[in-house]
Every structure is written in structure tokens, then in C-alpha cells.
């Protein structure tokens, strides 16, 4: 039997939702509606503008160096877990994104992410409500299977001002069906964004006794499948788990900075 718990709310915008009473009439009522709508739009725009984390264009590997499994302890908003970090599953460049005429630039060109396989033992289903430039979405998450790790890509400098992310597989979610243009450090391409694949929390990481704290607790990532575009590029990478070589096969996933609005355990 499926059971549910109460929602856990993140500092939400819900505090701006002013109740409308029945004594508003005519023009006054409409003025109130427009005022509330304007406030919510301003809040949403300000919230997205305040992200410290870029969009990421992610590549499936054609080949990547094998890495030894390494133990980590991870602490995020959903709890504490242990896992083993393994090989790279995707590599992600920061990317400029164009959507509906709105251009979101790259703010941190040295901030790259290697998404490593990192299987955790505990599997908990959760209903997650998130918001980003594609709107408010509700997804169901399953196991945390990946750890997104700040990574240096030669010839760029080491990453800074970028969190680790504990990434949960999305087992149910609606496609956003958005057309985007993406321009990263490798090439420009156009894609149709489809269903969500991952939801990622910023995470405290303990690896070999070294604790890496969360820098930006409001910055989450929602990662979406997108129409793939082939691109072959070999690069040398460096992060806390090794110095792997990575050769890309195609760009096939977009990670979008997102707000976590609320969540609950559903089994």
C-alpha cells in the first residue's frame, strides 16, 4: 500500500500569495488580481536571477577512463546516505541558453560538472514540486544514482563557487516540450527538451574525511532529456575522484537551475 507524509516546504514563494476576499468588486477586484500577478512574476524573475549556478549542457561519453569505486557520505535535504562513486556517466559544460527569446548567459565558465555513477543503498520514492524557467512541475523521484562533481576541464582553470549535487532518478514526470538553443564552450546547437531525467539537491560530501559544504542551498538542478546532437571531443578532466579522460559522443541532456518548492515521501 502506498502511503504519504506531509509536504516539506522550502522557503517558498507561497508567502506572497495574498488571499482575495469576496468584497472586491469590478475594477478593484481586477486591479488586485493584476497586482498579485505582477508581484508573483517579479518574485519568480528575481528568484531565477539570483541563481549562482549556470545551466549545463551534458554529454554522453563515447569513452571515459575507468575509476576505482570510492566511498562517500552525502547529506542533502532528503537525508543522509552512503554511496560508492564510480565512473563518469555524463560530462557537462556550462551553457548559454536561449528559450522563447530569453537568453541566459554563462556566469562561471570554469564551473563544469562530471556526473558520476554513485549508487546509494536506500531507495525512497518522493513527490517533488519544483520551479524553473519551464514553469512549475511535479515529479516523482526514486533512487539517488548519481553524484555531480565540480570538475576542471583542461585548459580551463579549476572550478569555484559550484556545489556538488546528489542526483535522484525521475520515475514519473511530464515533458516540458520546449525548444532551446544552447551554446557552450564546444558548439552551438538546438534541441527539443523532453522529459525530466534527474532531480538534484546540493549536497554536503564527506570523502576520505574531507567535508565539502553546500554553498548555495537554494540552487537545485532539474535535468531533462533532449533531442541528441552528435559531437566528438576528447578532453582531460580533474576532480576529487581522479584524472579521467573523457570523449564525448553526443549532447543529450540539459540541467536547469531550479527552486525546490516542496516534497514528501510517498512510500
The answer to whether 12 and 262 have CB atoms below 8 angstroms apart is: yes
**Model confidence pLDDT, tens digit, residues 104-159:** 999 999 999 999 999 887 789 999 999 999 999 999 999 999 999 999 999 999 99
Average pLDDT over residues 31-52: 46
Q: Enter the pTM of the model.
A: 0.84
Cβ neighbour number for residue 122 with a 10 Å cutoff: 12
Cα within 13 Å of Cα(209), Cβ side: 0
pLDDT of 21 > 50? The answer is no
N-terminal to C-terminal alpha carbon distance within the chain: 8
pLDDT score of 11: 52
Average pLDDT over residues 76-102: 96
The answer to whether 51 and 260 have CB atoms below 8 angstroms apart is: no
Contacts for 62 with CB less than 8 Å, ≥ 6 apart: 232, 247, 248, 249
Amino acid at each position: 500500500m502506498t502511503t504519504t507524509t506531509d509536504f516539506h516546504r522550502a522557503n517558498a514563494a507561497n508567502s506572497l500569495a495574498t488571499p482575495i476576499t469576496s468584497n472586491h468588486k469590478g475594477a478593484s477586484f481586477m486591479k488586485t488580481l493584476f497586482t498579485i500577478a505582477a508581484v508573483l512574476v517579479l518574485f519568480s524573475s528575481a528568484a531565477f536571477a539570483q541563481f549562482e549556478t549556470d545551466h549545463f549542457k551534458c554529454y554522453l561519453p563515447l569513452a571515459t577512463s575507468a575509476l576505482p569505486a570510492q566511498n562517500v557520505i552525502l547529506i542533502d535535504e532528503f537525508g543522509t546516505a552512503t554511496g560508492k562513486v564510480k565512473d563518469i556517466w555524463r560530462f557537462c559544460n556550462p551553457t548559454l541558453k536561449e528559450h522563447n527569446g530569453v537568453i541566459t548567459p554563462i556566469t562561471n565558465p570554469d564551473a563544469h560538472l562530471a556526473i558520476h555513477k554513485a549508487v546509494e543503498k536506500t531507495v525512497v520514492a518522493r513527490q517533488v514540486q519544483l520551479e524553473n524557467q519551464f514553469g512549475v512541475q511535479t515529479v516523482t523521484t526514486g533512487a539517488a544514482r548519481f553524484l555531480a562533481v565540480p570538475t576542471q576541464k583542461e585548459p580551463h582553470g579549476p572550478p569555484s563557487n559550484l556545489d556538488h549535487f546528489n542526483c535522484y532518478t525521475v520515475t514519473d514526470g511530464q515533458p516540458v516540450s520546449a525548444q532551446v538553443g544552447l551554446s557552450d564552450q564546444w558548439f552551438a546547437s538546438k534541441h527539443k527538451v523532453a522529459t525530466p531525467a534527474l532531480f538534484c539537491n546540493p549536497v554536503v560530501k564527506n570523502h576520505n574525511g574531507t567535508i565539502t559544504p553546500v554553498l548555495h542551498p537554494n540552487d537545485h538542478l532539474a535535468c531533462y532529456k533532449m533531442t541528441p546532437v552528435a559531437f566528438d571531443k576528447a578532453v582531460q578532466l580533474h576532480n576529487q575522484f581522479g584524472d579521467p579522460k573523457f570523449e564525448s559522443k553526443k549532447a543529450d541532456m540539459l540541467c536547469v537551475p531550479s527552486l525546490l518548492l516542496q516534497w514528501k515521501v510517498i512510500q
